[in-house]
């Protein structure tokens, strides 16, 4: 175990410097962290072997750090800020997520009917495609200190998008499992997977809010936050282990609910100081979470990418972009949001790989050939899409004029 920890520490340190190097090229550091993950993962240099990635203690540390990343989302969910555009946010989230599900499912339905492949596989593609991985876009926000309407819309949308993604995917997989084998996850578990992480975060966030209301030193603030985030993750781990049929709870949602709870209990001034105190730790958490995101990606999949992968990447991007644009325009959101929000929603890999693993496990027994199709397609798409999506997401913020120090060239709202 000591050797694995040392390997991990070396990988994190090198990833940090690779990110710095990539930043010199005016690209987001996250691209360097992702590449480092692929380079050091089990499919390349084996600095981060499967024995590390599959270790229970490692997964638990990652869950704590995912809660920490969720902290960034929750601090933006202050009711006084949200009430002005809550409806627009909900509508736009639904148009871009459900629109992507419908478009990807529809296109693959046509393709699979023509090729004699079971149509239910198309809906699994759609269920995987609609989800957005929030960490990459949030790391760009963190690195470049983006400010403006796109950023203000994206951060709370990351939480809502996760909830919609969980609901749609697990409903789809439950229906497909019942169709092909007569068994499947009970439908009542779907709202549990959404509501339980939120409840856990609220329960731990309330005492944190009580403690953080009072002015404290930076060290005291950090100790409270670290302790309560660890408690949040521990409760989540217990629920995953003893209450769920399999470990499916979203730890980023727990962290989001935790920070949203205490953020609505403290003053705006106090909240800004808490965020400033926590930002250095958040930066470290981002590096490790993104490194972990990249490690399972097999760069060899690029060579195996084919027709399905190309269609999947393009159609998903079209669904995300135009779904976001339609919702933002229909609800009168700022012009920059209408034009550029969709670009920031393209990162996908972490969520897509989790969903794909679940889909493959369901299909392996009754439809192994379908399992291979979905596994090969999404694995290749995860690698190719993530590299492109990170660059495009950064350009989206740039085009919207929200990069720190840049004048907003799109002042027309």
The predicted-structure confidence for 98-125, as pLDDT tens digits, reads as follows 999 999 999 999 999 999 999 999 999 9
Say what the alpha-carbon torsion angle 388, 391, 393, 398 is, to the nearest 10 degrees. Answer: -150
The pLDDT value recorded for residue 325 is 96
Residue 106 lies in a domain: yes
The pLDDT value recorded for residue 412 is 42
Residue 221 lies in a domain: yes
**257 pLDDT exceeds 60?**
yes
User: Is the Cα torsion angle 71, 73, 76, 82 positive or negative in sign?
Assistant: negative
Residue 407 lies in a domain: no
By the 10 Å C-beta count (0-12 exposed, 13-18 middle, 19+ buried), 251 is classed as buried
The pLDDT value recorded for residue 75 is 84
- Which of residues 81 and 313 earns the better pLDDT score? 313
What range defines the domain where residue 332 resides?
64-398
**408 pLDDT exceeds 60?**
no
Residue 125 lies in a domain: yes
Mean pLDDT computed over every residue of the chain: 86
**198 pLDDT exceeds 70?**
yes
Q: Going by C-beta distance under 8 Å and a sequence separation of 6 or more, which residues neighbour residue 192?
A: 244
Helix (H/G/I), strand (E/B), else coil: 246? coil
Q: With beta carbons less than 8 A apart as the criterion, state whether 70 and 289 touch.
A: no
**246 pLDDT exceeds 90?**
no
Residue 46 lies in a domain: no
Q: Going by C-beta distance under 8 Å and a sequence separation of 6 or more, which residues neighbour residue 186?
A: 174
Lowest mean pLDDT across 198-212, 248-262, 272-286, 290-304: 290-304
Length of the chain counted residue by residue: 413
Confidence of residue 410 (pLDDT cuts 50, 70, 90): very low
Q: How many domains does the chain have?
A: 1
Closest CA to 120 of 181, 50, 193, 205: 181
**93 pLDDT exceeds 50?**
yes
Q: Going by C-beta distance under 8 Å and a sequence separation of 6 or more, which residues neighbour residue 337?
A: 92, 149, 150, 153, 328, 400
Q: What is the pTM of this model?
A: 0.75
Spatial separation of the C-alpha atoms in residues 74 and 78, rounded to whole Å: 8
CA angle, residues 172, 236, 164, in degrees to nearest 5: 30
pLDDT over 90, % of the chain = 43
The pLDDT value recorded for residue 322 is 96
Residue 35 lies in a domain: no
Per-residue pLDDT of 32-78, as tens digits, reads: 888 898 899 998 889 999 999 989 999 899 999 989 988 887 887 77
Calculate mean pLDDT across residues 6-18: 94
Helix (H/G/I), strand (E/B), else coil: 367? coil
The pLDDT value recorded for residue 97 is 93
Spatial separation of the C-alpha atoms in residues 308 and 111, rounded to whole Å: 9
Spatial separation of the C-alpha atoms in residues 43 and 242, rounded to whole Å: 33
Residue 87 lies in a domain: yes
Residue 73 lies in a domain: yes
Closest CA to 324 of 16, 52, 169, 103: 103
Calculate mean pLDDT across residues 328-353: 88
Read off the CATH number of the domain in which 140 is found: 1.20.1530.20
Q: Quick one: DSSP state of residue 341?
A: G
Calculate mean pLDDT across residues 147-164: 84
Spatial separation of the C-alpha atoms in residues 348 and 388, rounded to whole Å: 11
C-alpha distances in angstroms, 192 versus 41, 56, 167, 351? 33, 24, 10, 18
C-alpha distances in angstroms, 84 versus 10, 30, 180, 203, 337? 46, 32, 46, 26, 15
Say what the alpha-carbon torsion angle 168, 191, 56, 206 is, to the nearest 10 degrees. Answer: 130
């Amino acid at each position: 175990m000591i050797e694995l920890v040392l390997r991990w520490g070396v990988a994190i340190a090198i990833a940090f410097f690779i990110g710095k190097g990539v930043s010199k090229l005016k690209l987001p550091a996250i691209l360097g962290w992702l590449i480092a993950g692929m380079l050091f993962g089990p499919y390349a240099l084996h600095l981060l072997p499967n024995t590390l990635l599959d270790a229970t203690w490692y997964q638990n540390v990652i869950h704590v750090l995912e809660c920490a990343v969720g902290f960034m989302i929750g601090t933006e969910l202050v009711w006084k800020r949200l009430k002005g555009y809550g409806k627009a946010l909900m509508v736009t989230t639904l148009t871009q997520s459900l629109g992507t599900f419908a478009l990807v499912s529809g296109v693959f339905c046509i393709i699979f009917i023509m090729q004699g492949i079971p149509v239910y596989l198309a809906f699994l593609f759609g269920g995987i495609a609609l989800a957005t991985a929030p960490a990459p876009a949030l790391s760009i926000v963190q690195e470049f200190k983006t400010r403006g309407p796109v950023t203000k819309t994206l951060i709370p949308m990351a939480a809502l998008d996760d909830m919609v993604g969980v609901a749609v995917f697990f409903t789809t997989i439950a229906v497909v499992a019942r169709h092909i084998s007569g068994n499947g996850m009970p439908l009542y578990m779907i709202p549990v997977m959404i509501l339980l992480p939120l409840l856990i975060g609220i329960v731990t966030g309330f005492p944190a809010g009580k403690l953080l209301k009072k002015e404290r030193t930076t060290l005291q603030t950090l100790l409270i936050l670290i302790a309560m985030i660890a408690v949040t993750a521990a409760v989540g781990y217990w629920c995953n282990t003893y209450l769920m049929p399999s470990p499916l709870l979203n730890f980023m949602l727990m962290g989001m609910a935790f920070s949203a709870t205490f953020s609505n209990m403290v003053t705006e001034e106090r909240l800004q100081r808490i965020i400033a105190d926590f930002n250095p730790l958040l930066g470290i958490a981002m590096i490790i979470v993104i490194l972990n995101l990249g490690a399972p990606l097999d760069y060899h999949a690029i060579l195996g990418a084919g027709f399905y992968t190309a269609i999947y990447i393009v159609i998903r991007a079209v669904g995300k972009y135009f779904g976001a644009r339609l919702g933002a325009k229909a609800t009168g959101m700022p012009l920059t949001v209408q034009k550029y929000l969709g670009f920031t929603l393209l990162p996908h890999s972490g969520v897509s790989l989790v969903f794909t693993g679940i889909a493959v496990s369901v299909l392996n027994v009754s439809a192994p050939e379908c399992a291979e199709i979905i596994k090969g397609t999404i694995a290749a798409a995860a690698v190719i899409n993530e590299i492109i999506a990170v660059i495009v997401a950064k350009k989206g913020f740039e085009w919207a004029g929200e990069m720190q120090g840049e004048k907003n060239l799109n002042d027309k709202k």
